[in-house]
């Protein structure tokens, strides 16, 4: 019996998590074209919105807003296409059945997808920020770096918690998964204020759209990047507290939803439904 | 057999037309039958409406008052862009999904039909699914955002001519992208998206190309979509619109659009013929990459 097969408990969870993260961190970087597309595609969209602000004669800080939004978009796209819709791809490739019969269960698989997706996307998001900032001469003055990093970390945990929740719902779907992931693009960019301060939507609308963790995370990080000039939705520490709440809530919801949807998917025979 | 006789007795044009119609029907079924009509309608309009509202809010956080000309620019660009996304990118995805996902490309290819007609049919089905999005975006722009777009001032013949030429240009671009997709495997899924994103940047979809660096401006003028979007804005909004190509008169814009569309259609046919032949030579026409 191999060492891997003998692994039990937490050790097995960690091994399975790292095993699933591996292709996302190492494997994905072997396909150079993916690296190119994952960086360049959000960057092209971001540059287009930079030019919108330039056409409107906006102050330079708005260019910074857009670049931040572009980097955040990379995370959102990763969550929607590589977390939420991932089981759809796995159904097509025949991997989902294999995941389901693994002794570790599906949670470490999703955890590995999250960790691998986050690390891979972090590199791409950093590239978007660096290239975008160099191209358009944007500078940032982060006033409280530890707080900035804390908000980013909590926001990411909440976001990937949402991703796992979506993944469990998408488990039930066939072709709808693809279309629903597409549906959650521009409407979410609008609701979360990817390209403008979310306060512009109005206070209560902004509060409503704060159910998407990126809304609060972006607003808080922009307050720290552009102190004094950013129209805040809430004070930074209140947004951090709300993000912690969202992170806990999405983790609990994801756990419950995953069990429920897996049961339904098994009962209705959708786990191997390809089309 | 009656069927064989009827197929043989048909002229090539009528066979081409029949293939296009069947390709259109199939494309429409694939595009729309994954859900009920209401959800499909919401799905069709949500992204373009979201897109135009992003631009409206960007405008308002900067300007906050007036400026209907720029709003009109945004609305028409956002209304037209789904035709590009669905028509151009959709054509490429039709071929790629037939090859990789449905695994039917080889059967389509060996049937006695024109692959071009089939793909144009699929592209037109995709473009049709953009009609609702375009209509709702224009109505929203007119009645909610107050964009000055009135039936009395719309230049209908000009707009209709520009629209037809634009759809031709979109399909030509789609065939060119398909020509590249036939020859590549792993990147084929991402490549149409990359082309779409690049066109979104250089064709003046959401901002006037006059703000681009000179090299990109020159590039944008070689692409028919730039002229199409400009012509649609002039046809729908009249002289009040912010212009991407202010140095040209309305007839000149339409003339350049027609000329460039003809050139790109010719280039698409040549590229597709070459790519198809090359893919057969290399034995990769139906290659599945498992991506």
Q: pLDDT digit string (tens) for A35-86?
A: 777 778 778 889 999 999 998 888 888 999 899 999 998 899 889 888 888 8
Q: How far is A212 from chain B (nearest CA, A)?
A: 16
- Spatial distance between the Cα atoms of A252 and B75, rounded to a whole number of angstroms: 41
The total of other beta-carbon atoms located within 10 Å of residue B194's CB is 18
Q: Which of B57, B101, B201 sits opposite A200 (nearest CB)?
A: B57
Interface contact flag, A49 B211, Cβ < 8 Å: no
What the block records as the tokens of A223 is 């307050």
Model pLDDT, residue B19: 94
Q: Which of A113-117, B136-140, B226-230 has the lowest mean pLDDT?
A: A113-117
Q: Is there a contact between A87 and A176 (Cβ–Cβ < 8 Å)?
A: no
Question: Would you say residue B6 lies in a domain?
Answer: no
Cα A118 from chain centroid (whole Å):
8
How much is the CA Rg of chain B, to the nearest whole Å?
A: 20
Please indicate, yes or no, if residue B31 is contained in any of the structural domains: yes
How far from A35 is each of A38, A122, A181, B129, CA to CA, in Å? Answer: 5, 12, 21, 31
- Please indicate whether, in this complex, the C-beta atoms of B55 and A52 are within 8 angstroms of each other: yes
- The answer to whether residue B4 scores a pLDDT higher than 60 is no
Query: 7-46 in A: which are within 8 Å (CB) of B?
Result: 31, 33-34, 37, 40-41, 44-45
Tokens 């084929």 sit on residue: B188
Q: Are B243 and B208 in contact (CB under 8 A)?
A: yes
Mean pLDDT of chain B: 88
Is the CB of A60 inside 8 Å of chain B's CB atoms?
Answer: no
How far apart are the C-alpha atoms of B226 and B263, rounded to whole Å? 15
Calpha distance A40→A80 (Å, rounded):
18
> In the prediction, which pLDDT does B10 show?
67
In angstroms, the CA A160 to CA A241 distance is 17
Domain contains B210: yes
In a domain, B290, yes or no: no
Chain A: nearest CA to B174, how far in angstroms?
18
**B170, B84 contact by CB (below 8 A):** yes
CB pairs under 8 A between A and B: 106
Query: For residue B183, is it within any domain?
Result: yes
Do the domain assignments include residue B2? no
pLDDT reading at B206 higher than 80: yes
Q: Which of A62, A174, A179, A196 to mutate to test the interface with B (most CBs of B within 10 A)?
A: A196
So what's the pLDDT on residue B1? 44
Taking a C-beta distance cutoff of 8 angstroms, is the pair A51, B202 a contact? Answer: no
The least confident of A8-22, A90-104, B60-74, B147-161 is B60-74
Q: What's the whole-number mean pLDDT along residues B225-239?
A: 94
The pTM of the whole model exceeds 0.90: no
Q: Flag whether residue A54 sits within 8 Å of chain B, measured between CB atoms.
A: yes
pLDDT tens, position by position, B55-101: 999 998 887 555 567 889 999 999 999 999 888 888 888 888 888 88
Give the pLDDT score at B291. Answer: 59
Q: Do B207 and A48 touch (CB under 8 A)?
A: yes
**Taking 70 as the threshold, does the pLDDT of residue A2 lie above it?**
no
Distance from CA of B285 to the nearest CA of A (A): 21
Q: What is the ipTM of this complex?
A: 0.88
Three-state secondary-structure class, residue B75:
helix
Of the candidates A180, A194, A195, the one whose C-alpha atom is nearest the C-alpha of residue A80 is A180
Q: Which residue of B has its CA nearest to A181?
A: B43
Which positions in chain A touch B58 (Cβ < 8 Å)?
49, 52-53, 56, 62, 195-196
**pLDDT, tens digit, 9 for 90 and up, residues B113-136:** 999 999 999 989 988 988 988 999
The predicted structure's pLDDT at residue B17:
93
- The reported pLDDT for the residue numbered B186 is 66
Question: HEC profile for chain B?
Answer: CHHHHHHHHCCHHHHHHHHHHHHHHHHHHHHHCCCCHHHHHHHHHHHHHHHHHHHHHHHHHHCCCCCHHHHHHHHHHHHHHHHHHHHHHHHHHHHHHHHHHCCCHHHHHHCCCCHHHHHHHHHHHHHHCCHHHHHHHHHHHHHCCCCCCCCCCCCHHHHHHHHHHHHHHHHHHHHHHHHHHHHCCCCCCCHHHHHHHHHHHHCCCCCCHHHCCHHHHHHHCCCHHHHHHHHHHHHHHHHHCCCCCCCCCHHHHHHHHHHHHHHHHHHHHHHHHHHHHHHHHHCCCCCCCCC
Element (H, E) at B3: helix B2-9
Nearest CA in chain A to B289: A93
pLDDT value at residue B56: 92
> Which residues form the domain of B90?
12-282
Reported as a single tens digit per residue, the pLDDT across A88-122 is 888 877 788 888 888 888 888 889 988 988 888 89
State whether A190 and B47 contact (CB < 8 Å). no
B282 touches A: beta carbon within 8 Å: no
Chain B contact set for A49 (CB, 8 A): 58, 206
Give the DSSP H or E segment for B180: helix B156-183
Contact B205 A47 (CB under 8 A): no
B61, B71, B96, B200: best mutation site toward chain A, by most A Cβ within 10 Å? B61
* Counted domains in chain B: 1
Which tokens is A37 given?
A: 């597309």
């Amino acid at each position: 019996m191999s060492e891997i097969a003998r692994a039990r408990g937490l050790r097995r969870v960690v091994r399975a998590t790292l095993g699933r993260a591996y292709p996302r961190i190492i494997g994905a970087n072997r396909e150079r074209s993916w690296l190119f597309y994952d960086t360049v595609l959000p960057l092209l969209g971001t540059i287009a919105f930079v030019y919108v602000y330039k056409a409107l004669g906006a102050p330079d800080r708005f260019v910074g807003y857009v670049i931040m939004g572009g980097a955040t978009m990379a995370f959102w796209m990763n969550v929607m296409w590589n977390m939420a819709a991932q089981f759809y791809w796995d159904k097509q490739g025949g991997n989902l059945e294999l995941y389901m019969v693994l002794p570790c269960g599906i949670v470490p698989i999703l955890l590995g997808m999250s960790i691998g997706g986050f690390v891979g996307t972090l590199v791409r998001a950093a590239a978007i920020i660096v290239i975008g900032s160099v191209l358009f001469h944007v500078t940032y003055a982060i006033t409280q770096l530890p707080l900035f990093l804390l908000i980013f970390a909590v926001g990411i945990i909440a976001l990937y918690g949402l991703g796992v929740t979506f993944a469990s719902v998408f488990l039930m779907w066939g072709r709808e998964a693809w279309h629903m992931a597409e549906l959650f693009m521009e409407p979410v960019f609008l609701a979360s204020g990817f390209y403008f301060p979310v306060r512009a939507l109005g206070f209560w609308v902004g509060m409503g759209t704060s159910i998407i963790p990126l809304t609060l995370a972006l607003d808080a990080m922009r307050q720290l990047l552009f102190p004094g000039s950013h129209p805040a939705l809430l004070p930074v520490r209140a947004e951090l507290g709300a993000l912690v709440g969202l992170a806990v809530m999405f983790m609990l919801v994801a756990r419950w939803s995953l069990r429920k949807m897996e049961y339904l998917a098994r009962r209705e025979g959708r786990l191997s439904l390809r089309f | 057999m009656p069927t064989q006789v009827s197929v043989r007795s048909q002229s090539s044009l009528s066979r081409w037309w029949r293939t296009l119609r069947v390709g259109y029907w199939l494309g429409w079924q694939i595009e729309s039958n994954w859900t009920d009509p209401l959800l499909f309608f919401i799905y069709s309009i949500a992204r373009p409406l979201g897109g135009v509202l992003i631009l409206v809010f960007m405008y308002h956080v900067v300007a906050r008052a007036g400026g209907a000309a720029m709003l009109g620019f945004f609305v028409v660009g956002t209304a037209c862009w789904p035709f590009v996304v669905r028509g151009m990118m959709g054509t490429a995805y039709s071929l790629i999904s037939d090859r990789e996902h449905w695994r039917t490309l080889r059967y389509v290819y060996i049937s006695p039909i024109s692959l071009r007609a089939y793909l144009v049919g699929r592209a037109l089905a995709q473009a049709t699914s953009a009609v609702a999005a375009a209509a709702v975006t224009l109505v929203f722009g007119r009645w909610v955002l107050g964009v000055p777009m009135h039936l009395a001032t719309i230049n209908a013949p000009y707009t209709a001519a520009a629209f037809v030429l634009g759809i031709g240009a979109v399909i030509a671009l789609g065939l060119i992208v398909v020509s590249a997709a036939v020859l590549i495997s792993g990147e084929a899924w991402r490549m149409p998206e990359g082309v779409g994103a690049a066109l979104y940047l250089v064709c003046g979809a959401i901002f006037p190309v006059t703000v681009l660096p000179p090299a990109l401006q020159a590039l944008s003028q070689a692409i028919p979509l730039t002229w199409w979007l400009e012509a649609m804005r002039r046809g729908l909004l009249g002289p009040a619109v912010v212009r991407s190509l202010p140095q040209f008169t309305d007839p000149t814009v339409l003339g350049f659009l027609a000329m460039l569309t003809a050139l790109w259609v010719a280039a698409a046919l040549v590229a597709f013929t070459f790519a198809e032949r090359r893919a057969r030579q290399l034995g990769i026409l139906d290659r599945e990459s498992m991506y």
